[in-house]
Copies of this chain bind each other. A is one copy, B any other.
Amino acid sequence: MTVHTCALINSTLVTETRGERKERTRRAILDAALRLCEDSSLVALSLRQVAKEVGIVPTAFYRHFDSIEALGLELVDESFVSLRAMLLDVRRSDPAFDDIIDSSIGILVEHVHQQRAHFQFIVRERAAGPLRVREAINTAIEQFEKELATDLVRLTGTTTWSPDDLQILSGLIVTAMVGLAEAILRTPDPGAEKAIVEGARVQLRMVLVGALNWRSKR
């Protein structure tokens, strides 16, 4: 004589397929992990903390990830989706030539604020995460450098620049932009942030001046 209740799971009326439900929990785990390691690191994050935050029992974690490290790799992928969205924004906007810097930096700053947790995760785990996570992040950043290098070809024309030098310039720009993101993330005061962003603009202009006067191959 089972009472056939219209089952109430997680305080939501269910017309949810099994897969949807699983995906929802999975998302909750990813979000909880991102939130919990915000002021420490993946390497100091325990499976039990995550489970408690999500509201599941510790062993249920394994239904979704093999380990915290595997979860971390997933977060890396997810974070770099944010970054790619940013790059698309940058490429889509097609400002006048001497506005490229201001425009790009503006987009970066906006994305850092909107995806603060993702950027913070990448910056932190790049230096301190589990080995595989660090590797994944650095591979992705190298990929960005290569893409930026090909973008630069379009801007400069390939005449005076060797591919090597383009790659190196690209690395310099990426380093500066990562540095800007880091600086923003560690600066809570909006006033100080404005100064930092302005400084980054000037830095990129300096690099641009250097680039325009550069002659490859010597």
**Which residues of A are at the interface with B, using a C-beta cutoff of 8 A?**
39-41, 43-44, 123-128, 131, 134, 138, 165, 167-169, 171-172, 175-176, 178-179, 182, 186, 199, 202-203, 206-211, 213-214
Contact = CB atoms under 8 A, between A and B. Distances in A.
Contact of A127 (B43, B123, B167, B172): B123
A121 to B, nearest CB: 11
Contacts of A213: 209-210, 213
Main secondary structure of the interface of A (DSSP, over half): helix
A211 B208 CA distance: 10
A208 B210 contact: yes
Contacts of A178: 179
Nearest to A187: B138
Given A168-B202, A206-B207, A206-B210, A41 B39 contact: no
Which of A167, A199, A206 is packed against the most chain B CB atoms within 10 Å? A206
